[in-house]
Structure 1
Amino acid sequence: MTEDDVLSEFRASEALLEGHFKLSSGRHSGHYLQCARVLMDPMRASRLAAALAAKLPREIRSAIDVVISPAMGGIIIGHEMGRALGKEAMFLERPDGTFGLRRGFAIEKGAKIIVVEDVVTTGLSSKEAMKAVEDAGGEVLALVSVVNRTGGDVSFDVPYHALVEITFPTYADDEVPAELAAIPVTKPGSRK
């Protein structure tokens, strides 16, 4: 699946939005990728996950024991990655503000894990999720996401693979351009 194919999936599902958005990272943007919308079609989610699984190097694909994703945004793509890879899929939650496993989920000590996200922007949630996996006894082999919005400004201690890189500009609260500030802000992400 090419980058154009991925963006076509977003456009077809009306998941590529324009306006003034406050992202989960706290930054502002004139564009928002509503991954929940692109993933609401099970066949589309399956295609995207299969394409993402195919991007993983063979040595990582063959070593994976479990797929783990952070709630909320990563649950659907994480589940579909589990299906594409033939592996169990679990998710992390933040009931007390910090990611952890609940619902009877547990990681065997030394289990080889990939962390799956919908979108990575600042990498903070991804790093928190990977730390939670390591604290639970797992070894993170890679981070994967449908969309990479980091602009190349974020590094991870593990390989990072994404289906598409999108570099819409983002702004701190004190950097928002006047034309964007003139548009009422919407906060579409899962984190309040």
Structure 2
Amino acid sequence: MPTLPGLSEEQRGELTRRLALYAYQRGDFTLASGRQSRYYVNCKPVSLSGTGLSLISTAMLNYVDAKAVAVAGLTLGADPLVSGVAMAASLANQDLDALIVRKEAKDHGTGTWLEGPLPQPGAVITVLEDVVTTGGSSLKAVKQLREAGYAVTRVVTIVDREEGGAASIEAAGLELISLYRLSEISICAAKLNR
């Protein structure tokens, strides 16, 4: 199994085990994209646990663009990720803020799409995602960030479902970095009789 920068082999194994046990399910599911699938990956039980978020954040931080001043992602899946990565950066004496991209503009107050400390226009931001299937959620976040005047060239996800999302993201001029592919989680789940 490939290593993840920032994580020891033992930590990588623990994160893989947690994803296989708590995020991966078999059955009949309708995905956010509308597609039907025999597998479902919901990373929230892992990313919303203290240990899980710590492991994910440490791993993701190593893939944030070196020029980035913030990480951002579409609510709800990316909410713990952007907060966790910003905290991991602070603990490593790096200055990195977190932004949350709303699914729709706020219907009151300022009507904003973005929440958090907004950087100067032109700043580099890395988008974080929990699971990439078609790439639609990532691309929605990127669109809002670019329309706000930010430079986005990279998306970092926990799991790539290997269903075309990488190609869609790359077609938009973005680099996709995945901590895991669905096939890796599936193999671990089978070993754990999940």
What TM bracket, shorter-length normalisation? 0.7 to 0.9
Aligned to 1:48: 56
* Superimposed CA distance per residue, residues 142-175 of structure 1 (whole angstroms, 9 cap, x where no aligned partner): 111111113454342121111001159xxxxxxx
User: What are the within-5 Å matches in structure 2 for residues 90-105 of structure 1?
Assistant: 90-95=99-104, 101-103=113-115
User: What are the within-5 Å matches in structure 2 for residues 92-131 of structure 1?
Assistant: 92-95=101-104, 101-103=113-115, 106-131=118-143
Q: Structure 1 regions of 5+ residues with no counterpart?
A: 169-192
Alpha-carbon deviation of 1:77? 1.2
* Superimposed CA distance per residue, residues 21-53 of structure 1 (whole angstroms, 9 cap, x where no aligned partner): 101111111111111111121221111121122
**Stretches (4+) displaced over 4 A:** 2-5, 102-105
Matched, 1:64 2:94: no
For 1:163, the aligned partner's letter is: L
Q: Counting helix residues as a fraction of each chain, which structure ranks higher?
A: 2
Give 1:11's match in structure 2, choosing from 17, 20, 40: 20
For 1:112, the aligned partner's letter is: V
Q: Structure 2 regions of 5+ residues with no counterpart?
A: 91-95, 107-111, 185-194
Aligned to 1:146: 158
Give the aligned length. 161
Aligned to 1:23: 31
8 Å Cα contact 1:6/1:164 also seen in 2: no
Distance across 2 between alignment mates of 1:19 and 1:46 = 29
For 1:94, the aligned partner's letter is: K
Alpha-carbon deviation of 1:10? 1.3
What's the TM-score, normalizing by structure 2?
A: 0.73
Aligned to 1:80: 84
SS in 1 for 2:152: strand
Alpha-carbon deviation of 1:112? 0.8
Alpha-carbon deviation of 1:131? 1.0
Q: Percent identity?
A: 25
